[in-house]
Chains A and B, each alone.
Chain A
Amino acid sequence: MTLPNGWEIVVGLEVHTELKTASKMFCGCANSFGAEPNTNICPVCLGLPGALPVLNERAVELAMAIGMALNSTIAPSTFHRKNYFYPDMPKDFQISQYDLPINVGGYLDLPDASRVSIERAHLEEDTGKSTHLGGTGRLQGADRSLVDYNRSGVPLVEIVSGPDIRSSAQARAYAQELRGILIATGASDGRMEEGSMRIDANVSIRKAEAPFGTRCEIKNLNSLRSLQRAIDYEALRQVELLEGGGTVRQETRHWDELRGETSTMRVKEDADDYRYFREPDLVDLAPDQSWQDRIRAGLLPMPAERRQKLAALLSDLSVAHLDAVEVVINLGLDDLVMRAVDGGVDVTLAISRAANELAANIDEVKNFSSESFTATLLMEQQGELSATQAKTVLTELLTHGGDPHDVVTKMGFEQLSASSLGATVAALIEEHPEEWTRYRDGDEKLAQFFIGQVMKLTKGQANGKSVVAELQARR
């Protein structure tokens, strides 16, 4: 969406991701989602008097992996206390990193070749979770709140981009690519709907080349779609405000997905004095070269690299193909595709089936073997299955498991024998003399007509190429 009257959107994104560690950031409590309230707590993450934090080694390693994937400098760093009172904060301060974060600088290149700078990525601990009673379930209008500290102390990495993003689509692409990176490093499972990946957008507008305008922070973005919609809404809101003679107030706004609008949540005021000071209960971090090297050596290929590898195999780089590649990369299906290609499957076919049938059943893919994928596609490729049949077989394998050949038999998809195909084609030629004459005289398009008829008659059991061969033989 382009703004009217020469206004330009300026967006910076702050992404928080929970880290996939076994235990919490500063204690040995389990880091797991969905446990009974207050069952994963201890003196440390409950902030009991006398408790002390001890840093989780794996959290540090995952933070470094993220930094490396984002081309940041891994710097000596320090922990700070961010002091404020809130019931979901057991110590009424959060241990975070302030002016000396573990990852400094960096950048993220997007599929469209644009580059978004990364200012920093740092480690911090998560807070507990409150549920609100006596109202609509939201904070406003509640008369009591209940707090669960299971999430308190879960390790987080916060990634702050530069204000380089210039459209909601680019913001979405950034979030998408970043998620792919977080998943590829093993740091995160990237589930926005579960809250393991959270995005806040800082949105402002300006006329081109003018200084940045006042920005608003938008929260409650639970999906990439919300992210995109909210940015567009907020940018327009600011345009209307400024063109109406008003000013943009620096504040935090809440995105309401149902109503499609942002509303004031908190006005940023001086009361937000966090009194940052160095956390005296922790010592400084200075990962040495050999520790960094071990992590770098263990990094798996990032989405960009995998995307390039896959795209390089395609001779036709049309938009449709690139879109399909995106789907494959974003859903982490490229490994299946590459193995199928290694097994002899045509890359375009493998990508297409992955981007459609596998994508549609993405939750089942983890139980789906590359052998099944490859075998099914080879059958299609060799003409033993039609396209329709192959898609059906894949879906069946994904939802109910099994062996590809058994499924083919069970579904009665054996190839139509050459003689019955010949008989069917002959019968059709007799029934449609006009079409046959035109085809015979050179109108190739009519091959599709006959293929369609054969499919109808055989309930999709014929192979298009075989039908064409029959027609040509009879010309």
Chain B
Amino acid sequence: MSSPLRREEVAHVAKLARLSLTDAELDLFTEQLGQVLEHANDMNSLNLEGVVATAHPFGLTNVVRPDEVRTSLDRDEVLAMAPDAQDGRFSVPRIMGEAP
């Protein structure tokens, strides 16, 4: 059965998700994801016109907190778990492009 997904789409999605897939994985995922999406076509059996997505199941709204300062984390404790840190900051290899 051919997948509703094209291999190039899966490759593009992998890039968006910051995952590198081998060719074998690309093929496998294309097939497996395709199966899930094929199965999902059963949703089209319902008439969903005009149906609105539900936000919170019990309709909670306007949950806010007062504008008060609370204690922050200890920087040393936080940086101790960083893969690489310098001068109190998290260090990363060079960034290739500007932020969107």
Q: How far is the CA of A50 from the CA of B66 in the complex (A)?
A: 22
Known contacts A266-B98, A284-B56; A146 and B86 CB within 8 A of each other: yes
B69: which of A30, A36, A55, A252 is its contact (CB, 8 Å)? A30
**How far in angstroms is the closest Cβ of chain A from B78?**
6
A38: which of B61, B65, B88, B98 is its contact (CB, 8 Å)? B88
**How far in angstroms is the closest Cβ of chain B from A291?**
8
> Is A185 interfacial (CB-CB < 8 Å)?
no
> Is A344 interfacial (CB-CB < 8 Å)?
no
Q: How far is the CA of A143 from the CA of B53 in the complex (A)?
A: 45
Residues of A within 8 A of B73 (CB): 41-43, 46
Closest to B55 in A: A284
Per-residue contact bits, chain A 141-172, to B (CB 8 Å; 1 contact, 0 not): 01111111100000000000000000000000
**In the complex, chain B residues 62-78 whose Cβ is within 8 Å of any chain A Cβ:** 62-73, 75, 78
CB atoms of B94 and A38 under 8 A apart: no
Interface residues on B, range: 35 or more
Residues of A within 8 A of B78 (CB): 38, 41, 46
Q: How far is the CA of A55 from the CA of B92 in the complex (A)?
A: 30
Q: How far is the CA of A288 from the CA of B68 in the complex (A)?
A: 23
CB atoms of B56 and A139 under 8 A apart: no
> Is A234 interfacial (CB-CB < 8 Å)?
no
> Is A78 interfacial (CB-CB < 8 Å)?
yes
Closest to A55 in B: B64
Q: How far is the CA of A282 from the CA of B60 in the complex (A)?
A: 9
> Is A37 interfacial (CB-CB < 8 Å)?
yes
Total A-B pairs, Cβ < 8 A: 138
CB atoms of A38 and B67 under 8 A apart: no
Known contacts A22-B68, A266-B98, A272-B100; A38 and B75 CB within 8 A of each other: yes
CB atoms of B18 and A85 under 8 A apart: yes
A29: which of B69, B90, B93 is its contact (CB, 8 Å)? B69
> Is B50 interfacial (CB-CB < 8 Å)?
no
**How far in angstroms is the closest Cβ of chain A from B60?**
4
Stretch at the interface among A103-111, A127-135, A399-407: A127-135
Interface residues on A, range: 35 or more
> Is A332 interfacial (CB-CB < 8 Å)?
no
Residues of B within 8 A of A57 (CB): 64-67
> Is B28 interfacial (CB-CB < 8 Å)?
no
CB atoms of A87 and B95 under 8 A apart: yes
CB atoms of B72 and A40 under 8 A apart: yes
Closest to B70 in A: A28
Q: How far is the CA of A146 from the CA of B63 in the complex (A)?
A: 35
**How far in angstroms is the closest Cβ of chain B from A278?**
7
> Is A321 interfacial (CB-CB < 8 Å)?
no
Residues of A within 8 A of B63 (CB): 54-55, 282-283
Q: How far is the CA of A39 from the CA of B78 in the complex (A)?
A: 10
CB atoms of B67 and A56 under 8 A apart: yes
Name the residue in B68, B92, B94, B97 with the highest tally of chain A Cβ atoms < 10 Å from its Cβ.
B94
> Is A58 interfacial (CB-CB < 8 Å)?
yes
CB atoms of B87 and A146 under 8 A apart: yes
Q: How far is the CA of A147 from the CA of B61 in the complex (A)?
A: 34
CB atoms of B90 and A146 under 8 A apart: yes
**How far in angstroms is the closest Cβ of chain A from B70?**
3
Closest to B90 in A: A147
CB atoms of A88 and B99 under 8 A apart: yes
CB atoms of B65 and A54 under 8 A apart: yes
CB atoms of A21 and B67 under 8 A apart: yes
CB atoms of A285 and B61 under 8 A apart: yes
> Is B36 interfacial (CB-CB < 8 Å)?
no
Residues of A within 8 A of B99 (CB): 86, 88-89, 127
Residues of A within 8 A of B75 (CB): 36-39, 41
CB atoms of B94 and A143 under 8 A apart: yes
A58: which of B67, B71, B100 is its contact (CB, 8 Å)? B67
**How far in angstroms is the closest Cβ of chain B from A442?**
71
Residues of B within 8 A of A252 (CB): 98
Q: How far is the CA of A147 from the CA of B70 in the complex (A)?
A: 23
**How far in angstroms is the closest Cβ of chain A from B62?**
6
Q: How far is the CA of A182 from the CA of B18 in the complex (A)?
A: 39
> Is A60 interfacial (CB-CB < 8 Å)?
yes
**How far in angstroms is the closest Cβ of chain A from B85?**
8
B-binding residues in A (CB < 8 A) = 21-23, 27-30, 36-43, 46, 54-60, 78, 84-89, 127, 130-132, 134, 139, 142-149, 252, 254, 265-266, 271-275, 278, 282-288
13 CB-based A-B contacts, threshold 8 Å: A22-B68, A41-B72, A54-B65, A87-B95, A145-B95, A146-B86, A149-B90, A252-B98, A274-B100, A278-B55, A283-B55, A285-B62, A286-B62
